[in-house]
Amino acid sequence: MARNYIHTLFTDAMRDAQEQDGSRGAYARMEDGADGQPDVLTQKERSFIAARDSFYIATITGHGWPYVQHRGGPQGFLAVLEGNRLGMADYRGNRQHVSTANIAASSRASLFLMDYPNRRRLKILANASVVTAEEDSALVSRLMPSGYKALPERAYIFDVVGFDWNCPAHITPRFTQDEIAQLLQPLVDERDRLRAEVAALKQQVGRGRG
């Protein structure tokens, strides 16, 4: 069971609020046994991460403000690396360098991964680092999705500290174009079959009249 996520996230103020709300007992049991060692990603988390085509990353500015950024790409662009590590290529963008500068100042990052059709979400705490193409071009190239039209400038590396699965409450299902196409494919196949049957019947009728 993953325990280090909430053990790392919870503060004494949070525990006091839970105590007042009557929920502390359940969360204390979830925290019990946490020793500060990272939650180790299992095959369940690895498969979920590999299937994502987007996620959200939160970092902290030098002034202490939280900053949330959406990241997207082909499925698996957030790669599961050796050990308890994730990585992704960072493409050339608007050149604000907010997340990059934040990570350079503070390694703490939070990742939020959504599976809208199946109403699942995975939260990850990680220590992040930045590796430039000049420092390790092989790593940046390795993390670049094959055939993806973007210019990689650096890599983000995430050493997972903890993770937590959320309940599906209040998640509105949403679908990508590819997911909608997959759902509609049986109907498209049925339409094509019926069209072919109608065309064949018309030919038979035409020959009968001739």
For residue range 64-74, what is the model confidence (pLDDT) as tens digits?
Answer: 999 999 999 99
> What pLDDT is recorded for position 162?
96
pLDDT digits (tens, 9 = 90+) for 106-123: 999 999 999 999 999 999
**pLDDT of 93 over the 80 cut:** no
Phi, psi of 64 (to 5 degrees): 90, 10
> What pLDDT is recorded for position 210?
64
- Residue 163's pLDDT band, with cuts at 50, 70 and 90, is very high
**pLDDT of 204 over the 90 cut:** no
Measured distance CA(76)–CA(208) in Å, rounded: 57
- Residue 151's pLDDT band, with cuts at 50, 70 and 90, is confident
DSSP per-residue string spanning 20-82: HHT-HHHHHHHHTT--SPPPPP-HHHHHHHHT-SEEEEEEE-TTS-EEEEEEE-STT-SEE-S
- For residues 127-147, give the mean pLDDT: 92
> What pLDDT is recorded for position 1?
63
**pLDDT of 208 over the 80 cut:** no
Measured distance CA(195)–CA(34) in Å, rounded: 62
Q: 136: helix, coil or strand?
A: coil
> What pLDDT is recorded for position 61?
94
- For residues 132-159, give the mean pLDDT: 91
Furthest CA-CA distance within the chain:
89
* pTM score, whole prediction: 0.86
The mean pLDDT of the chain is: 92
Cα torsion angle, 62, 68, 74, 78, sign: positive
pLDDT digits (tens, 9 = 90+) for 14-52: 999 999 999 999 999 989 888 889 999 999 999 999 999
Q: Considering just the CA atoms, what is the radius of gyration of the chain in Å? A: 24
**pLDDT of 209 over the 80 cut:** no
Residue 142: partners with Cβ closer than 8 Å, 6 or more residues away: 79
Under DSSP, the state recorded for 166 is E
> What pLDDT is recorded for position 166?
86
Inter-CA distances, 188 with 174, 182, 183, 192, Å: 21, 10, 10, 6
